[in-house]
Structure 1
């Protein structure tokens, strides 16, 4: 059982990484902008919801988790379908904790960078 908890925290890392990269990073900017446009102005509800998934890290993490669980056959507590359900929601939750922590760290780093640039600018002006 201890190993399962260890694997849970490891399994959540690629989920968080993939979900964050697709929904937030510059490399997928054009695709994300296309999806944002389609999610706002699509003519059918199902189409709007489909494209929205690629703009929300929480939503997208569910799909990444599903694929990861199918590939790895990772379960928690029970070895049958119940274990997949528990693993699914656990991995999603841990991955989203990781993404939230990462976001907090990024915001703090940006604040520090802005402060440093402002101080440097003030020093140059004096």
Structure 2
């Protein structure tokens, strides 16, 4: 059981990394902007929801988790379908905690950079 908990926290890392990268980072900016546009302007609800998935890290983490569970056959608590359901929601939850923490760290780093730049600017002006 202890090993399963360890694996849960490890398996949530690639889910968080992939979900964050696809939905937030610059490398996928053009694709994400296309998906944002399509999620707002498609004429069918199903199409709008399909494209929205690629703009929301929480939503996208569900699909990344499904793929990961398919590849690894990871289960928690039970070796059957119940274990897949429990592991699915557990991985999604932990991955989203990781992404939230990462976002907080990034915001703090940006605030520090802005503060340092402002102080340097003030020193130059004095």
Distance 1:41 1:93 in 2: 30
The within-5 A match list for 1:88-99 is: 88-99=88-99
Task: Tell whether 2:2 aligns with 1:6.
Answer: no
Q: What TM-score, normalized by structure 1, do the two folds share? A: 1.00
The within-5 A match list for 1:107-126 is: 107-126=107-126
The within-5 A match list for 1:1-126 is: 1-126=1-126
Alpha-carbon distance, 1:120 to partner: 0.3
Deviations 1:29-82 (A, max 9, x none): 000000000000101000000000000000000000000000000000000000
Distance 2:114 2:35 in 1: 31
Distance 2:27 2:121 in 1: 30
Give ranges in structure 1 of 5+ residues lacking alignment: none
Aligned alpha-carbon RMSD (Å): 0.2
Q: What TM-score, normalized by structure 2, do the two folds share? A: 1.00
Give the secondary-structure state (helix, strand or coil) at the position aligned to 1:100: helix
